[in-house]
């Protein structure tokens, strides 16, 4: 699969097969093509050439079917801050066509799962980062997906929040959920079944974390971080702030009409 815009090849002839039930981590420096790959998996962008299927459904031709199979957690919260947790979940339930008579039960169940059943009635803007992330994870599972896509799930969480979230993800893994996550946290990646490292749109390494360390590093005590640096180089990947980054920083300053 390849994706180009203009002269720039964001994903270059990448081929990847993730078996059902696997816990897969996608690593790569900024700008390596992780986001593009995720966008294609989410059916937001179509690949320039090649094809991808998820649970047997083609991401270009069978968009709706693919979307029902996916549970997605974005890098930063995609919640409505002014609504309560239950109201956010209700929107999700309607969008995914959960029948009206099941909606309230599903919402209660998800709130309990995310340990948020005691804060119902408060708008999401009063939530901590960890609470928002739990809510989003619960929401992503609400419609019974079989594949989860996580973009940096533990970014910005304190160690307690990270541990809590990680435990939740581990229980999903036991239930046979297929998980694909991107991360910068290499110790988390080491806990995954397999790791893929992508650099400049190419998959430069793939395999079990222990196998990757053995293959790409001479020393016995090497970590995945050493492998990562060895494969993707030491240079810094500085990018210009995206339109989104600028909006977020503007919103944080609390400019006029930021909502």
Q: 176 phi and psi, to 5 degrees? A: 90, 15
> Measured between alpha carbons, how far is residue 21 from residues 85, 93, 120 in Å?
29, 25, 33
Residue 82 buriedness (CB in 10 A; 0-12 / 13-18 / 19+)? exposed
Q: How many residues of this chain interact with other proteins, rule: CB under 8 A?
A: 51
184 binds other proteins (CB under 8 A): no
Q: Which of residues 139-158 bind other proteins (CB under 8 A)?
A: 139, 143-144
123 binds other proteins (CB under 8 A): yes
Q: What is the dihedral of CA 16, 6, 67, 116, to 10 degrees?
A: 100
89 binds other proteins (CB under 8 A): no
Angle, CA 127 vertex, CA 122 and CA 129 arms, to 5°: 165
74 binds other proteins (CB under 8 A): yes
Q: What is the dihedral of CA 188, 27, 14, 234, to 10 degrees?
A: -150
Q: Which stretch binds other proteins (CB under 8 A): 83-91, 165-173, 218-226, 230-238?
A: 83-91
Tell me the C-alpha distance between 72 and 255, whole Å.
30
240 binds other proteins (CB under 8 A): no
Six token digits for residue 13: 């002839």
100 binds other proteins (CB under 8 A): yes
Six token digits for residue 122: 């408060």
Dihedral sign of CA atoms 31, 72, 153, 249 in order: positive
Q: Which stretch binds other proteins (CB under 8 A): 12-20, 39-47, 181-189, 201-209?
A: 39-47
Tell me the C-alpha distance between 47 and 33, whole Å.
12
70 binds other proteins (CB under 8 A): yes
CB of 129 to other proteins, least distance (A): 14
42 binds other proteins (CB under 8 A): yes
218 binds other proteins (CB under 8 A): no
Strand partners, 54: 57
Binder to other proteins among 12, 58, 90, 120 (CB under 8 A)? 90
96 binds other proteins (CB under 8 A): yes
CB nearer to other proteins: give 66 or 227: 66
CB nearer to other proteins: give 211 or 247: 247
Is the CB of residue 125 less than 8 Å from the CB of residue 82? yes
CB of 154 to other proteins, least distance (A): 19
Site map (CB under 8 A) of other proteins, residues 44-63, x = contact: xx-----------x----xx
Residues that bind other proteins (CB under 8 A): 39, 42-45, 57, 62-70, 72, 74, 76, 78-83, 87-88, 90-92, 94-98, 100, 123, 139, 143-144, 243-244, 246-248, 250-251, 255-259
């Amino acid at each position: 699969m390849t994706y180009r815009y203009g002269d720039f090849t964001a994903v270059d002839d990448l081929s990847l097969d993730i078996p059902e039930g696997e816990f897969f981590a996608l690593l790569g420096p900024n700008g390596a093509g992780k986001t593009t790959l995720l966008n294609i998996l989410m059916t937001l962008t179509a690949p320039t050439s090649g094809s991808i299927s998820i649970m047997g459904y083609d991401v270009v031709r069978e968009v709706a079917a693919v979307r029902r199979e996916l549970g997605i957690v974005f890098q930063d919260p995609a919640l409505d801050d002014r609504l309560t947790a239950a109201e956010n979940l209700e929107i999700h339930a309607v969008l995914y066509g959960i029948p009206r008579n099941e909606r309230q039960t599903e919402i209660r169940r998800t709130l309990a799962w995310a340990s948020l059943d005691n804060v119902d009635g408060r708008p999401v803007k009063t939530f901590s980062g960890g609470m928002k992330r739990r809510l989003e994870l619960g929401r992503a599972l609400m419609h019974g997906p079989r594949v989860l896509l996580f973009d940096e799930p533990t970014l910005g969480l304190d160690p307690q929040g990270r541990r809590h979230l990680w435990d939740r993800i581990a229980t999903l893994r036991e239930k046979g959920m297929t998980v694909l996550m991107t991360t910068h946290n290499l110790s988390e990646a080491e806990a995954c079944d397999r790791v893929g490292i992508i650099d400049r749109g190419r998959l430069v390494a793939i395999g079990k974390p222990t196998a990757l360390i053995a293959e790409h590093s001479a020393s016995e005590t090497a970590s995945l971080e050493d492998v990562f640096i060895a494969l993707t180089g030491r240079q810094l990947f500085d990018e210009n702030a995206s339109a989104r980054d600028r909006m977020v920083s503007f919103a944080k300053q609390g400019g006029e009409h930021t909502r």
